[in-house]
Amino acid sequence: MSDKPNIASLSGRKKVVSNKKMTFMEMIYLPAIIGGFGITLSHFFKKKVTLQYPEETKPRSEIYRGMHVLKRDDEGRERCTACGLCAISCPAEAITMIAAERKEEEMNLYREEKYASMYEINMLRCIFCGLCEEACPKEAIFLTDRIVSSDLHRGDFIYGKDLLVEPVDQRIDISHRQTPEVLKFKLDKNQSHNS
């Protein structure tokens, strides 16, 4: 105890700075410079950590919560019925919608008698928590592994139905987000609206 300097150090990592004289090898600096070049050179042969985004993308989890999709059912009709549960569950209040009544000739477009004539998500407000997906009673909205692209104007981040509803011929696969509980629920014949 007596030979060590009396330093109060809680972490035990405190170092005492000494002002000792340099040796000859240290004074000519060359070994240190060559050692430094050696480290730089060794990085040429190491695995690169830089990803050439956007050509390359980092692998994401299958249940990554990215841009939303409004699903259609098997017959291509929109599932969303504009019940507003996603909007009320949204902690960022990013979702707005206007409901409308389905007309007789629109039977093949919308599944329920009510549908969303306007459905907007403000992607700048959205925190991608996935509560809208959980609240949805119609299996209509899902988060996907797609990424909301950057843009120049704030207004362009308000995504309407044109960007959110999946095209009939280009369905978006959300099967990995369907947990066993969800699939069991969908098998329930009584819930025919969950087809």
Partner 1 sequence: MLKVTIDNQTIEVEEGTTILQAARLIGGAVVPPAMCYYSKLKDSGGKCRTCLVKVAQGSARDPRPMPKLVASCRTPVADGMVVQNITSQEVIDTRKAIVEFLLINHPLDCPVCDQAGECDLQNLSYENGREESRFEESKRTFKVIDIGDKIQLHMNRCILCYRCVYTADQLTNKRSHGILYRGDVSEISTYIQNDITNDFSGNIIDVCPVGALTDKTFRFKNRVWFLNPMNAHRSCTKCSGKVTAWMRGDEVYRVTGRKDQFGEVEEFICNECRFEKKDKEDWVIEGPRNIKRASVISQNHYLNARKPSVIIPLENRTESLEEYAKENSNENKIS
Name the site residues for partner 1 (rule: CB under 8 A): 81-85, 87-88, 93, 99-101, 112-114, 137-138, 188-190, 193
- Integer Cα distance of 123 and 76 in angstroms: 26
Amino acid found at 112: E
- If you compute the radius of gyration of the chain from its CA atoms, what whole number of angstroms results? 29
Tokens of residue 55, six digits: 């050509």
Q: Are 173 and 118 in contact (CB under 8 A)?
A: no
Closest CA to 146 of 111, 172, 109: 172
Q: Residue 68 Cβ, how far from partner 1 at the closest point, in Å?
A: 18
Kindly write down the DSSP assignment for every residue of 43-58, as one continuous string.
Answer: HHTSPP----TTTS--
Q: Residue 69 Cβ, how far from partner 1 at the closest point, in Å?
A: 19
Q: Which is nearer to partner 1, 93 or 173 (CB)?
A: 93
Residue with tokens 């695995």, as numbered in its chain: 47
Q: Residue 95 Cβ, how far from partner 1 at the closest point, in Å?
A: 11
Q: Which is nearer to partner 1, 85 or 132 (CB)?
A: 85
Q: Are 164 and 70 in contact (CB under 8 A)?
A: yes
Q: Residue 124 Cβ, how far from partner 1 at the closest point, in Å?
A: 19
Q: Residue 168 Cβ, how far from partner 1 at the closest point, in Å?
A: 23
Q: Which is nearer to partner 1, 26 or 113 (CB)?
A: 113
Q: Which is nearer to partner 1, 95 or 165 (CB)?
A: 95
Q: Which is nearer to partner 1, 171 or 193 (CB)?
A: 193
